[in-house]
Amino acid sequence: MFGLVLRRLAALVPLCLAISFLAFCLTSLSPSDPAEVALRVNDITPTPEVIEATRHELGLDRPFFERYLVWLKGALQGDLGKSFVTHLPVAEEMAKALLPSLALAFSAVLVVLCVGIPCAILCFVTEGRLPDAVARALVFLASATPTFWAGLLFIWLFSVHLNLLPTGGLEGPASFILPVLTLALPSLATYTRLLRASMLATGQQDFVLYLKAQGRHPLAILCRIVRNSLNSTLAALGMTLPKLLAGTFVVECVFAWPGLGRLCVTAIFNRDFPLIQAYVVFMGLFFVLFNLVMDIVGTYVDPRKRKGGQP
């Protein structure tokens, strides 16, 4: 197992370098001059002399690959540059916004698990009957509703009309409810559908018929089906957190949530290139590393993978 982890980590090194290089290219190939942008956001008249001095200060007058290597060396040391707008270190700004985004994403994952698994079991047990049809209709509605529209609808209903919950911001436990529900809704619908389909497929396997022939209790059989189905959907569940974290920018903008997504959207509007670049790299590495973790967990859970696919 340890050798497997080392091989997977070694294979990730070129991928991480490729992510950092592409992020650097995206900002470097922008039609806007970063030096001029940095001057304009600070209300400084961008005369040719001032632009040239700023380009020299930011190192933009160096060759492209030299700039990339200097940036990569600083990134490996935790120095991602400074924001054009606030003049604060980018790493400091992202660290401050990371915790609210992670809290939002983790809470949404808990909602997906606590609601999606019972809902999928209900659909499986009542397949073809009214509860199954109603649950599937609600799941379809949730998956078809745009996230921003669901958020605005929740604000109108629970904040404006009923005056039960705050409209936005991070002011206490109650402010989590609407953003978490809005963020979890699409993933909840997807995971419920996926788990229901996996349970229906598992229920047709030979071992289920064998357990029934042995006279096992229906609840024990159901538990076996659920366990096997959860193993088969582990990869999809594992990627739920990175997807939710990457998708927080819509929810954070709707609910004025002080997280990474809102920070990135603000940086895009301000053309704050160091912050945009750092966000792209962070999200890419987060996806890659989390996928590695879930791959290792899946290998540990399923012994067949450790034996090279042998049953």
- The DSSP-derived string for 160-181 is IIS--S-SSSS-STHHHHHHHH
C-alpha angle 237-251-82 in degrees, rounded to nearest 5: 100
Residue 110 token pair: 């808990």
Residue 239 DSSP label = T
Query: What is the second-level CATH architecture of the domain 92-284?
Result: Orthogonal Bundle (1.10)
Residue 43 token pair: 């209300």
- Residue 34 to residue 267: CA distance in whole angstroms: 13
pLDDT for the residue numbered 171: 82
pLDDT for the residue numbered 2: 66
pLDDT for the residue numbered 179: 93
Residue 155 DSSP label = I
The beta strand positions in the chain, using DSSP E, are none
Report mean pLDDT in 10-residue bins for the chain, 311 residues. 73 86 81 76 78 79 85 87 84 91 90 90 89 88 87 92 87 89 89 89 86 85 86 72 81 90 87 87 87 75 52 41
Q: Which amino acid is at 223?
A: C
pLDDT for the residue numbered 309: 46
| pTM for the whole structure | 0.80
pLDDT for the residue numbered 38: 77
pLDDT for the residue numbered 29: 75
pLDDT for the residue numbered 311: 41
pLDDT for the residue numbered 157: 92
How many CA atoms does the CB half-sphere of 118 hold within 13 Å?
4
Residue 300 DSSP label = H
Those residues whose C-beta lies under 8 Å from the C-beta of residue 204, and which sit 6 or more positions away, are: none
pLDDT for the residue numbered 148: 87
pLDDT for the residue numbered 180: 93
Where along the chain do the CATH 1.10.3720.10 domains lie? 92-284
